[in-house]
């Protein structure tokens, strides 16, 4: 799959064991196994220097609505170096840049410091209906050109994935679906 048509960045959202399989955690995507080969192909195309991997790591100090979130999902309250938060083996070493955050959205100062304020982003990862959409929308709203590769994203379910892709497609031309 060739999507790269100019100097841009591949951002792989949260390719971690905690999201890789329903057998690993309640957050595991049933679509991950079919998605990861597409992400690997994109990572080969972009190369490590133009690839960023993001990681979600629980941060109970955020307070507010996050307190009730972790009341519902206490299994996730493990340290950053716990195996649950490890990057899946297929993508280890594929990115020269890593951004770790305790929020769904990864469009933050750390990511902007790597890719710039209004970059072109090709987005892949998990979960389409959570962290992918929560990253793509604020990035586009901030002026980034965002391309979401649908078959390189895994939702929490096939239906949720399709709904998220549909919602993201409403933001054309700032967000395009490939």
Query: CA–CA distance from 18 to each of 29, 34, 42, 56, 92 (Å)?
Result: 9, 16, 22, 9, 15
- For residue range 52-90, what is the model confidence (pLDDT) as tens digits? 999 999 999 999 999 999 999 999 999 999 999 999 999
> What pLDDT does 5 receive?
46
Model-wide pTM > 0.85:
yes
SS3 content of the chain, % helix, strand, coil (to 5): 40, 20, 35
Catalogue all structural domains in the chain, each as residue range(s) with its CATH number.
9-177 (3.40.50.850)
Residue with tokens 């009730």: 68
The strand pairing partners of 10, in sequence order, are: 51, 122
- The token duo for 164 is 């998220």
Categorize the per-residue pLDDT at 3 as very low, low, confident or very high, splitting at 50, 70 and 90: low
């Amino acid at each position: 799959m060739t999507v790269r048509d100019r100097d841009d960045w591949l951002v792989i959202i949260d390719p971690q064991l905690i999201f890789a399989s329903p057998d690993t955690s309640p957050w595991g995507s049933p679509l991950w196994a079919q998605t990861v080969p597409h992400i690997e192909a994109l990572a080969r195309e972009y190369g490590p220097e133009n690839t960023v991997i993001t990681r979600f790591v629980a941060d109970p100090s955020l307070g507010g609505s996050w307190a009730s979130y972790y009341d519902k999902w206490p299994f996730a309250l493990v340290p950053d170096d716990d195996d649950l938060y490890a990057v899946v083996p297929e993508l280890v070493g594929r990115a020269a840049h890593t951004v770790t955050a305790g929020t769904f959205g990864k469009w933050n100062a750390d990511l902007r410091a790597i890719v710039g304020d209004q970059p072109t982003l090709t987005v892949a990862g998990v979960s389409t209906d959570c962290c992918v959409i929560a990253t793509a929308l604020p990035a586009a709203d901030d002026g980034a050109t965002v391309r979401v590769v649908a078959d390189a994203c895994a939702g929490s379910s096939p239906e949720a994935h399709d709904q998220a892709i549909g919602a993201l497609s409403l933001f054309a031309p700032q967000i395009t679906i490939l």
